[in-house]
Structure 1
């Protein structure tokens, strides 16, 4: 990958993004040596403008940024690195230097839509209709969707498999709602298990 370090006196801005959630975690700067070290070691190394030296993120805290993917912008003077972080990224202990505690993506948006349809008692909503049938019916539906996904997994029709996976995720979110459990809680458990 060829980057243009000449435009900004030998340094380029580097955006750090979580590989899984796509959450922007921080911004740092690299010179050519920092970039070469990051590529070689797969641990993000920046150039410290205040100390005028290279520093590998996590060398004192243990919160390394494991580089997975590198992308440059169209002008070759900005870098995006997708990482798997080992612990909090910000020196304050936050997940992100932009004061965001968790990633919010489409599944969270869908969780909100499910909540709204139930809270507003939408009479034309399948979601609300299923919710009103109670935990037994919802749990049964999740079980049915899981079995259908397993069946499709054994066949070669990827479209059917993907649709059954979507059905399972959707009904799982309704089950979480009826149990009064947030998706973020499940995400937190999975994150803990990764350590």
Structure 2
């Protein structure tokens, strides 16, 4: 549970709860929670609101099957707004739209943040535990070599018209590039900062 917890004594026991896609960062919807809905959301890891129109607890997806699976719950500095990060199981809006603001929710860019954390967690792990840990154990030269190999393979696939093979090589290159950055103790955001400065 987040610390400190929400202050449900404000606003007659109902607080706004913003739901954000944990992967894309898109705001999916806004609902309201009372203390019971909040606790149910925390314990069952599925977003539950208090429906003001039905005057009862309402689990998002209970009729449509489009549940919002909770990954994290945050409380703002005034303790009167809840932010729920979740993975949507289908479209969020009852209209069939990805979000209740009629925005597309197709981007997976924030998955890179998750992947970075996985790579970081394996930096000092046992080499027998995963391919990534084994790569780290072999040292910077081997990691850099793998990046070079994957880059060459991507160039080769770029000359052909097999999209599936090209995407596979592109994914391999991106993964090994992230491993190389972690091996050098450089965050991807530092690279992005360089790009942003060049863009000015």
TM-score of the pair, normalised by structure 1: 0.58
Contact 2:19 2:84 in 1 (8 A): yes
Contact 2:92 2:100 in 1 (8 A): yes
Alignment length, in residue pairs?
A: 136
Shift of 1:77: 0.4
Q: CA separation in 2, counterparts of 1:148 and 1:106?
A: 12
Q: CA separation in 2, counterparts of 1:50 and 1:16?
A: 19
- Aligned-CA RMSD value: 3.7
Q: Of 21, 25, 30, which aligns to 1:22?
A: 25
The equivalent residue for 2:37 is 34
The equivalent residue for 2:76 is 73
Once the two structures are superposed, residues 156-179 of structure 1 have per-residue CA deviations (whole angstroms, 9 ceiling, x without a partner) of: 96238977xx8xxxxxxxxxxxxx
The equivalent residue for 1:12 is 15
Shift of 1:80: 0.2
The equivalent residue for 2:91 is 88
Contact 1:152 1:161 in 2 (8 A): no
Q: CA separation in 2, counterparts of 1:41 and 1:145?
A: 34
Contact 1:23 1:103 in 2 (8 A): no
SS at match of 2:11: coil
Matched, 1:99 2:102: yes
Q: CA separation in 2, counterparts of 1:98 and 1:147?
A: 35
The equivalent residue for 1:171 is none
Q: CA separation in 1, counterparts of 2:170 and 2:87?
A: 34
Q: Of 158, 163, 181, which aligns to 2:183?
A: 158
TM-score of the pair, normalised by structure 2: 0.57
The equivalent residue for 1:136 is 159
Once the two structures are superposed, residues 81-114 of structure 1 have per-residue CA deviations (whole angstroms, 9 ceiling, x without a partner) of: 000111110000011000112355879xxxxxxx
Shift of 1:34: 0.4
Shift of 1:7: 1.6
